[in-house]
Structure 1
Amino acid sequence: MAVSHLRILSRTELDAALDALCALDPEMARLRTVGAEPPLRTLSGDLPGLVWVVNSQMISVAAARAIHARLEAALGAIGHMRLSQAPDELFRAAGVSRGKLRTIRALCAAVDGGLDIAGLADREEEEARALLTAVPGIGPWTADVFLLFAHGRADAFPAGDVAVQAALQAAFDLPARPDRAEAERMAERWRPLRGVAAQLLWAYYGAMRGGPDAVAAPTRPATVEEIL
């Protein structure tokens, strides 16, 4: 199976990529045997999909879905024009934090300035990541999660994700949860399937916590700006 620039967009492709990852590293095969079988997660590769990732930061999947649904109901549809024109009060009533609202406003301004979010799928991964992280409020975690699930990029690895780090600590019996730099170093062994490894680690963490619904994945630490 060719894995260079691999895109994971179907269950069959995810299963094949997991097989390749487990053949690459027996430790990942061991994690898979304990019931850590990742579900296929996909996002739309456009502004609504990216807004979903922003809304899902730091909170459970259920909470993110509720906020996103309230926002969609209030707007009628999540799109550039409606997001741009909606007053702050509408977002706040839907449960969007001030920090996330600033990011959504920045995204809309970036689109006005020529950012083609859907067109990022045709860019090289590093270029797409750089264009995303140039938007105020879009950090590496948000960019990597979007690239992983909207584009199916098999090597996008959100090293700053808390659940990924906790799974690495448990799986490899580490004395402490690895930080972003250490998680990136550990993930080097899984290139070009680091994103597939992240999905397996999320599933493993969920299995450790009592099942697939026991933990929100992906998740990452809150910043002061996002809490406010």
Structure 2
Amino acid sequence: MEAAIAFLIENDEVFKKLHLQYGNPFIPSRPPGFATLCQLILEQQVSIDSAKATYLKVEKLLGKVSPETIANCSEEDLKSCGVSRQKISYLKILAKAVSEELDLESLTAKSADEVRNELIKIKGIGHWTIDVYLMFSLQSPDIIPLGDIAVVNTIKELFGIHTKEEMEALSANWKPFRSMATFMLWHHYLEKRNRKPVV
């Protein structure tokens, strides 16, 4: 963590100012595995608070969120927890994949690119979900989730650039610590809105 922050504040004036203003960012962490991926599916395109409330209802209903309990749960029961029909489909597809061919435990020993290539095959798991899983659960040090609206808006605000191509070029300067750059951007985003991180 210290090496990543030192690199960013030495090489980028914006991160230097952010660190002076806020100190070290909050580093989110979640256990790797099926339940976390389910939670991330629920978080797609909704607020973190809303998704967390839905996940807790699902967890209470099932007792334990596992491939078996998701596979055996009826769509009606999942819908009663607030899960949309599309996300019910995604959870069921993930449960089937983990039961049949996807070895989630093996991902901890693989590179970020290898993890992405495996997870992207699963319908309902896109690059944002993979990016967050890599950062929160697998502690990958060099991820920049340009599908995340908070990251994109904060880059626009702080750096005055607006296209994905410009953002990709800018973030190349933050290698090999783009995950820490992301945490610092999120930290600024939340502080400006007087919000606390939800994990």
Q: TM-score, normalised by structure 2?
A: 0.92
Deviation, structure 1 residue 77: 0.7
Once superposed, what is the RMSD of the aligned Cα atoms? 1.9
Out of 186, 190, 193, the residue aligned to residue 202 of structure 1 is 186
CA distance 1:164–1:77, change in 2 (3 Å): same
Structure 2: which 5+ runs fail to align? none
**What does 1:125-204 correspond to in 2, within 5 Å?**
125-174=112-161, 178-204=162-188
How far apart, in 1, do the equivalents of 2:187 and 2:23 lie? 5
Deviation, structure 1 residue 69: 0.6
**In the alignment, residue 195 of structure 1 is paired with which amino acid?**
S
Aligned residue number for residue 109 of structure 2: 122
Judge conservation of contact 1:31–1:171 (CA < 8 Å) in 2.
Answer: no
**In the alignment, residue 126 of structure 1 is paired with which amino acid?**
D
**What does 1:206-217 correspond to in 2, within 5 Å?**
206-209=190-193, 211-213=194-196
Structure with the higher helix share, 1 or 2 = 2
CA distance 1:60–1:111, change in 2 (3 Å): same
Out of 19, 41, 52, the residue aligned to residue 28 of structure 2 is 41
Aligned residue number for residue 60 of structure 2: 73
Judge conservation of contact 1:41–1:149 (CA < 8 Å) in 2.
Answer: yes
How far apart, in 2, do the equivalents of 1:57 and 1:172 lie? 26
Deviation, structure 1 residue 15: 4.4
How far apart, in 2, do the equivalents of 1:155 and 1:186 lie? 14
Judge conservation of contact 1:60–1:217 (CA < 8 Å) in 2.
Answer: no
Deviation, structure 1 residue 17: 2.5
Structure 1: which 5+ runs fail to align? 1-13, 219-228
How far apart, in 2, do the equivalents of 1:36 and 1:78 lie? 36
Deviation, structure 1 residue 29: 1.4
How far apart, in 1, do the equivalents of 2:123 and 2:93 lie? 6
Identity of matched residues, % = 28
How far apart, in 2, do the equivalents of 1:185 and 1:137 lie? 28
Deviation, structure 1 residue 62: 1.9
How far apart, in 2, do the equivalents of 1:119 and 1:202 lie? 29
**In the alignment, residue 190 of structure 1 is paired with which amino acid?**
W
* Matched residue SS, 2:142: coil
How far apart, in 1, do the equivalents of 2:167 and 2:5 lie? 19
How far apart, in 2, do the equivalents of 1:133 and 1:182 lie? 24
Aligned residue number for residue 88 of structure 2: 101
How far apart, in 1, do the equivalents of 2:61 and 2:126 lie? 27
How far apart, in 1, do the equivalents of 2:2 and 2:81 lie? 37
